[in-house]
Structure 1
Amino acid sequence: MANYQFLAPFQFNNGVTLKNKVVMAPMTTMSSFYNGKITQDELHYFAARAGGPGMVITSVANVSDNGKGFEGELSAASDDMLPGLRQLAATIKKDGAKAILQIFNAGRKSTSQVLRGETPVSASAIAAEFPPGLETPRALEQEEIDQVIADFGTATRRAIQAGFDGVELHGANTYLLQQFYSPHSNQRTDKWGGDLEKRMRFPLAVIKEVTETIEKYATDSFLLGYRISPEEVETPGIRLEDTLYLAEKIKSQVDYIHLSMGSYKRTSLNDASDKTPILEKFAKRIANEVPLIGIGSVELPADAEEMLDSGADLVAIGRELLREPQWVQKAKIGDEASIRTTMSLADMEELSISGAMQTYLQESFGSVMNFTPNGKKAEDYQSQAAPMEGFEKKL
């Protein structure tokens, strides 16, 4: 067996133990039913990949109907979803992986078409700059903010009842949790807006609600993670130091922090003179206090090893697990030569990728998937944002 450090077990501070340090990153499948219920296509997709990683994070599930961001999105917004969520958790856990349900509210990154005529909501009535053309959202009222916070708690209760091992709050990729923290999308004058500390109140309130739900319904072995985007490119917008500060504030309140970047080698998008990789900055700031999940452009075992050497505690793999569902198994037996780093349209059935997801990958993420025979090698996202991060910026 190969002697890679990412193959060693990992234990969280609360005692939860993973069989290895590889995490399947949350990836949009576009394959749920119109009402957010799980499909057999999705179950096959997860079943094909769940055998290797120590932990699998699902594609994102909305916590409330007005938080839906796109068609084909998973939902945890009602008890009607419980039967499907139970199937999903069991599918992921069948070979010993821990199952994490990622939950969110899309906020202004949705559309009135997706919301069946309702106007998207956000912290303030300010349209997102990326992608261009999104409509102006409606600012949430105080009672609505309270309801969204409660919805995160209720969705967590459903995750517990469905048999998941944890939830991950999607505070990245410019969705609602990030929108409240951002000076671009949050220009409120009440207690939920203003300076950095006030803009932090909403994500902290959600963490508190979810923590109380876990204490009420789960055991102490249930995980709470938080996914975070290091920077925004808008002006005003979140800068790297703002996010490092947020990580420091929440590190004692969550079980792990999960970065969202196109490359684990990424440096600052706003300060080209700063050559220190963002991963290393986060590792230094929260070292030995809360586990850090690194992410971005891991294709071969050497990449995973380098990420761990750079300060990550766990290695999240996304696109590469689409191309190679047996990545961990092949690394374990030293069969690197057979690891696929490209994706052929002829292999989609074998890879358990649904028709809806195939279209999505080709149309929205063709530039990052290493498609053959006519596709281009994915760009180096060390100095730019990747399409899946919700914004655009090149140095």
Structure 2
Amino acid sequence: MTEYKFLEPYKFLHKDITLKNRVVIPPMTETMGFHDGSVSDAELSYYGTHTGGVGMFITAVANVNDLGKGFEGELSVADDRFIPGLRKLAHAIQQDGTRAVLQIFSAGRMTNSQVLRGQQPVSASAVAALRAGSETPRALSTEEVYATIADFGQAVRRAILAGFDGVEIHGANTYLIQQFFSPHSNQRTDEFGGSVEKRMTFALDIIREVNRVVDEYATKPFIIGYRISPEEIEKPGITFEDTLKFIDVLKDQPLDYLHVSMGSVWRKSLNNPSITTPLNETIKAHLAGKMPLIVVGDLQTPADVEKAATAFDLVAIGRQSLREPQWVQKVEHHDEQAIRYAISPDDLDELGIKPPFLQILIALSGENGIPLTTAKDVNQDAANARIDHYLSGGK
């Protein structure tokens, strides 16, 4: 009888919080919220269906202010009026001891004036993304940057009042925090731009403000995580060398985990063929045991997850958790042969996958049938990669 490492509890290093196992559901874009950012019944059903087995469940992104909205159907934590719905969401997730973490962000330039109801997108600098249809944002003033940092803090206050167990600061997937770190999107000359160290300032100030708010409002230990993307394809863009410099600073910040957003746990550099070691292995070495690392990407079978759990601290299963909400429970009950690796159209209501979410997955699959079919189908590999990228917040 196999005893899996990923089923072992995990206690955070600096907080009196223990996860019942090392399996995490990562943030996945589901676009099932109301137009104003309120939590919908469809979302409550979806989260309630997919939670319970894992140690921690991180929500889809929630914007911290109106200009931070990236797409329709996105959660918002920008106002106190959202707290009652978010409280229902936290409660839906916290079944059987699963920890609920709210991911908070601002889209920055990765949105458009239609989504923003006529407002121009904002970013670190007035530089459009190198993607078809991208609008040129306006640069946030220094005062607006400080106001945005405060908005992240207020978002955390609301998450605490809503009963979440923690927040994840979304510094990945080309959104605003990453835009401040990127030499492509950040051409500022104030204290938030210039050298790689100055381009870290926005993120570090947000971490500082988040911790200040937690100290003021939290009445029990509260998880603070941070998510990164280790490279950019833009030229100039974030290099892996830049990221390692950032991690060398992040590891000494008051954070409880680092979450690396990639399509494969074992991915190597997209830009530098001389890097022959998986990026996550190098990142873990730089963390030097000071905080745990969550890895994600192409983990489907128990063997896949165990291999990652042996090498890293916490493992996240995204696409596979959509197919099989009872993934952990079936492993625990030694019923691995019953794990579902495909979805039938007849399964969609059972899985809580509603039309907005489904249409995204169909479009990304590149095929006419229901996507998320067997991940071992070679013809589906490219579609799965696109799906993983979008679900993790990429556009």
Aligning the two structures, in what range does the TM-score lie when normalised by the shorter sequence?
over 0.9
Give CA-to-partner distance per residue, 1:243-279, whole Å, 9 cap, x none.
1221221123211000100110100001123221111
Alignment of 1:134-213 (within 5 A): 134-213=134-213
How far apart, in 2, do the equivalents of 1:286 and 1:41 lie? 38
Q: Displacement of 1:372 after TM fit?
A: 7.0
SS at match of 2:380: coil
Could you tell me how far 1:343 is from its partner in structure 2?
2.5
* Aligned twin of 1:128: 129
Structure 1 Cα separation of the partners of residues 168 and 230 of structure 2: 17
Residue of 377, 381, 384 corresponding to 1:378: 381
The aligned residue for residue 18 of structure 2 is: 17
Task: Output the CA distance in 2 between the equivalents of 1:261 and 1:92.
Answer: 24
Mean Cα deviation higher: 337-346 or 183-192: 337-346
Sort the Cα spacing of 1:366 and 1:213 in 2 relative to 1 into closer, same or farther, 3 A.
farther
Aligned to 1:279: 280
**Structure-2 separation of matches of 1:45 and 1:220:** 27
Amino acid at match of 2:245: Y
- 1:217 is aligned to 217
Give the whole-Å Cα distance in 2 for the aligned partners of 1:64 and 1:349.
32
Inter-partner Cα distance in structure 2 for 1:167 and 1:183: 27
For the residue of structure 2 that corresponds to 1:108, the secondary structure is coil
Change (3 A) 1:31 1:366: farther
Deviations 1:293-328 (A, max 9, x none): 010010001111111223x20001111101111110
Q: Distance in 1 between matches of 2:304 and 2:279?
A: 16
Question: Residue 92 in 1 paired to residue 70 in 2?
Answer: no
Change (3 A) 1:162 1:139: same
Deviations 1:41-73 (A, max 9, x none): 001111111111000000110000000000000
Q: In the aligned structure 1, how far is the partner of 2:19 from the partner of 2:228? A: 22
**For the residues of structure 2 that align with 1:86 and 1:183, how far apart are their CA atoms?**
38
Partner of 2:49: 48
Contact 2:28 2:392 (8 Å CA) reproduced: no
What SS does the aligned partner of 1:360 have?
helix
CA distance in 1, matches of 2:366, 2:335: 27
CA offset at residue 239 of structure 1? Answer: 0.6
Mapping of 1:69-80 within 5 angstroms?
69-80=70-81
Give unmatched runs, 5+ long, in structure 2. none
- The amino acid that maps onto 2:241 is E
> How far apart, CA to CA, are the structure 1 residues paired with 2:366 and 2:62?
24
Residues 202-223 of structure 1: CA distance to partner in whole angstroms, max 9, x if unpaired?
Answer: 0001111101000000146101
Q: Distance in 2 between matches of 1:268 and 1:361?
A: 26
Deviates more, 1:332-341 or 1:95-104: 332-341
SS in 2 for 1:370: coil
Q: Distance in 2 between matches of 1:369 and 1:294?
A: 24
Aligned mates of 2:371, 2:210 — CA distance in 1: 35
Q: Is the 8 A contact 1:170 1:177 kept in 2?
A: yes
Partner of 2:59: 58
Name the aligned partner's letter for residue 286 of structure 2: R
Q: Which amino acid aligns with 1:370?
A: L
Letter of the 2:114 counterpart: Q
For the structure 1 residues 211 and 389, does the alpha-carbon distance in structure 2 shift closer, same or farther, using more than 3 Å as the test? same
Q: Return the offset for 1:291.
A: 0.5
| Partner of residue 83, structure 1 | 84
RMSD of the alignment, in Å?
2.1
Residues 344, 372 of structure 1: 8 Å contact kept: no
User: How much has 1:375 moved relative to structure 2?
Assistant: 9.9
2:4 paired with 1:4: yes
Structure 2 counterpart of 1:80, one-letter code: R
Q: What does 1:99-114 align with in structure 2 at a 5 Å threshold?
A: 99-114=100-115
Unmatched segments (≥5 aa) in structure 1? none
Question: Which residue identity is paired with 2:64?
Answer: V
Indicate if the aligned counterparts of 1:266 and 1:381 stay in contact, CA closer than 8 A. no
Shift in CA distance, 278/236, structure 1 to aligned 2, threshold 3 Å: same
Matches within 5 A, 1:305-344: 305-310=306-311, 312-344=312-344
Distance 1:346 1:32, change over 3 A: same
Say how many residue pairs are matched: 388
Paired residue type of 1:237: G
Structure 1 equivalent of residue 258 of structure 2: 257
2:104 counterpart SS class: strand
Per the alignment, in what secondary structure is the counterpart of residue 154 of structure 1?
Answer: helix
In structure 2, distance between residues paired with 1:79 and 1:279: 37
Find the aligned partners of 1:100 and 1:390 in 2 and give their Cα distance.
Answer: 16
State the identity as a percent. Answer: 53
Q: Does structure 2 retain, via aligned residues, the 8 Å contact 1:30–1:73? A: yes
Partners of 1:159 and 1:375 in 2: CA distance: 41
